[in-house]
Amino acid sequence: MVGNESWGRDEVPVIGKGFESSYEPKRLSEQRLDQGTQKRGRFSIPKLGILLLCCLAAVSEATYAKYKDPKQPVGVRIEDLMSRMTLAEKIGQMTQIERSVATPDVMKKYFIGSVLSGGGSVPTIKATPETWIKMVNTIQKGSLSTCLQIPMIYGIDAVHGHNNVYKATIFPHNVGLGVTRDPQLIKKIGDATALEVRATGISFVFAPCIAVCRDPRWGRCYESYSEDHKIVQLMTEIIPGLQGDIPGNSKKGVPFVSGKKKVAACAKHFLGDGGTTKGINENNTVISLNGLLSIHMPAYLNSIRKGVATIMVSYSSWNGKKMHANRDLVTGFLKNKLKFRGFVISDWLGIDKITSPPHANYTYSVEAGVGAGIDMIMVSNFTEFIDVLTYQVKHNIIPMSRIDDAVKRILRVKFVMGLFENPMADYSLVNQLGSLEHRELATEAVRKTLVLLKNGESADKPLLPLPKKATKILVSGTHADNLGYQCGGWTITWQGLGGNDLTSGTTVLQAIKNTVDPTTRVVYSENPDSDFVKSNKFSFAIVVVGEPTYAETFGDSLNLTLSEPGPRTIYNVCGAVKCVVVVISGRPVVMQPYLSSINALVVAWLPGTEGQGVADVLFGDYGFTGKLARTWFKTVDQLPMNVGDPHYDPLFPFGFGLTTKPTEG
């Protein structure tokens, strides 16, 4: 039994902030349900009986329901709907489950509020937009079959375009976009991403990542726009791109999403994810409160002002305290001080990781995470989460006021974005996925993300731009003809894929062939020996090398070296012919040993599917304009080293970037 025998038949305790008990009348359906035996929040009454009771209670008050009326103010709709909800329905709203377990029956039985696709979680391999829509709508029908018909919200990681989806436009990762310092470009990318996400029936994205990466050894550094919070703040302009421009008369902190062509965004990861010791993922950020607020917090202020709908909590700790359990920062600062009115979401199994090892004391994790102020929880074992949270509420361990705060915020986002009026996806936007217009935008972005770090031995003898007309040119390197490496992690799968079969796009090699004069012979040899290079009398060579694909902890690196045989390719080619080296990487890597043998050096970061942008600038159709948004170190022993540090002695400083003018003609 759940220990509510002492309550009056018509009363249920509601615990306020100060833990004072007050009482409110129970809904008819709740009174009836309490008469059945309950085990950890799972009712023994047959499911059909619950739904009938629920629906009878809901419709007996009136056929007209204010919460279903879009003409009513959002606050009125929330209040009306919440007055009709059972505890089970409320806790269901707080639960986000993985697509693979989200059957219509599960959605209906547990009143699930949200579903997600994890990295690489797709309905079928190379699924079409129509297949995605059919899957999302099938899940949604389960939610709409409940008596209150509260639609679920479907979330996905769209961190550089709609990156889980086959044939979507893959934009450069954030590490490159920060180079542009161009908020209007970023806003356009947000707008294009929203359209491609909506093209698959999805309305919620776990983006943007507004981490301030202070150490490139971190495996998520490519998800960060810059080591400088001011650039990260500029880049929050992606939020109105994703969600729409917030009206001028909006209250601070209130979420805003402007209709069916926009998506709810998610600023992440709150707070200090980019400042961990040695860049170790999910680790400890050791910094004063002043440092935390001055470096890692500012972009959240911008995001909230722009109406960001949701904020995701970081796996990391601040001075030893897990952020998923940090009530002072999540509730005290984010919700109370900054007046954020959207909902706070956990990261995947984020509350499990409050303990070490994860899930060691799940009861404590639920209490600490929900108690800290997290409103929606990403869970794998949803029945366990629902059971534990139900038990804790019924035993006054977690106050009902905390549940109501969470549900109010979740419903606010759903009402604001029009999900109640348009819960089902249609096929009207399917042609937006990977559209020519979006690919052209991505190509423009690639051009602007490139940084020219070296151009000839002296300013009066530049190698770039390269001539399109040459007898014979060599293209080499592991990354020259590899679309997967170009895109990096979080592309089709969580960790990313090598090769050219993952999605559609243009490799750097193909782009070079597209760009040079028809009479120029392009020879591709991935890793030639020096004799081959010397004997062929090439006019010049382009060597494209870099890092493998990775995401999160798998990308943590203490040495930051180029993938083998990259260094050998550089020596073999650049020792025999004039060469430009193009680096495809998610962060600065060790380059000092090779610099003297390289004639020109370009960093292309992780450009995505549109490799044409690289060739456009190499061959002078456009000039180099990019300036480093990250410090390029000499050796890893210097790390962490950021602009303004007393020991600042970089190979290339923050803000550095040579420029070229487009070639005439």
Termini Cα distance of the chain: 83
Nearest residue to 602 (alpha-carbon basis) of 523, 543, 555: 543
- For the chain, give every domain's residue range: 72-423, 450-652
Q: 186 is written with which tokens?
A: 């970023």
Specify the fold of 450-652.
Rossmann fold (3.40.50)
Q: 20 is written with which tokens?
A: 């004072």
Q: What is the mean pLDDT of residues 469-498?
A: 98
Q: Looking at per-residue confidence, does 532 or 51 come out higher? A: 532
C-alpha count within 13 angstroms, C-beta hemisphere, residue 374: 32
Per-residue confidence band for 336, with pLDDT thresholds at 50, 70 and 90: very high
Q: 75 is written with which tokens?
A: 């606050």
Q: How many whole angstroms separate alpha carbon 605 and alpha carbon 587?
A: 7
pLDDT digits (tens, 9 = 90+) for 351-389: 999 999 999 999 999 999 999 999 999 999 999 999 999
Q: How many whole angstroms separate alpha carbon 591 and alpha carbon 568?
A: 13
Which stretches does DSSP call E strand in 4-69? 11-15, 21-25, 38-39, 42-43
- Decide if pLDDT at 34 tops 80: no
Q: 614 is written with which tokens?
A: 């690289």
Common-topology check for domains 72-423 and 450-652: no
Instruction: Say what the pLDDT of residue 148 is.
Output: 98
* Residues marked as catalytic: 347, 552
Question: DSSP letter at 597?
Answer: G
Considering the chain, what percentage of its residues have pLDDT values greater than 70?
91
Q: Which of 48-62, 177-191, 204-218, 470-484 has the lowest mean pLDDT?
A: 48-62
pTM: 0.92
**Vertex 589, ends 645 and 575: CA angle to 5°?**
125
Nearest residue to 200 (alpha-carbon basis) of 139, 252, 137, 243: 137
Q: What is the mean pLDDT of residues 111-115?
A: 98
558 CB burial (10 A radius; 0-12, 13-18, 19+): exposed
Instruction: Say what the pLDDT of residue 49 is.
Output: 52
Nearest residue to 204 (alpha-carbon basis) of 408, 111, 343: 343
Nearest residue to 543 (alpha-carbon basis) of 474, 469, 632, 590: 474
Strand-pair category, 11-15 with 21-25? antiparallel
Q: Which residues are bridge partners to 268 per DSSP?
A: 209, 312
Strand-pair category, 321-322 with 317-318? antiparallel
Q: How many whole angstroms separate alpha carbon 114 and alpha carbon 107?
A: 9
Specify the fold of 72-423.
TIM Barrel (3.20.20)
Instruction: Say what the pLDDT of residue 56 is.
Output: 55
Q: Buried (b) or exposed (e) across 314-350, using 16+ Cβ within 10 A?
A: bbbbbeeebbbbbbebbbebbbeebebbbbbbbbbbb
C-alpha count within 13 angstroms, C-beta hemisphere, residue 476: 28
Q: Buried (b) or exposed (e) across 78-109, using 16+ Cβ within 10 A?
A: bebbbebbbbbbbbbbbbbbbbeebeeebbbb
Give the distance, in angstroms, between the CA of residue 199 and the centroid of all CA atoms in the same chain: 18
Q: How many whole angstroms separate alpha carbon 419 and alpha carbon 152?
A: 8
Q: Looking at per-residue confidence, does 3 or 582 come out higher? A: 582
Give the distance, in angstroms, between the CA of residue 444 and the centroid of all CA atoms in the same chain: 22
Q: Which of 4-18, 493-507, 553-567 has the lowest mean pLDDT?
A: 4-18
Task: Give the SS3 label for residue 486.
Answer: helix
Question: Are 527 and 568 a contacting pair, CB within 8 Å?
Answer: yes
Q: How many whole angstroms separate alpha carbon 574 and alpha carbon 571?
A: 5
- Decide if pLDDT at 421 tops 80: yes
Mean pLDDT across the chain, nearest whole number? Answer: 92
The phi, psi pair for 170, rounded to 5°, reads -100, 115
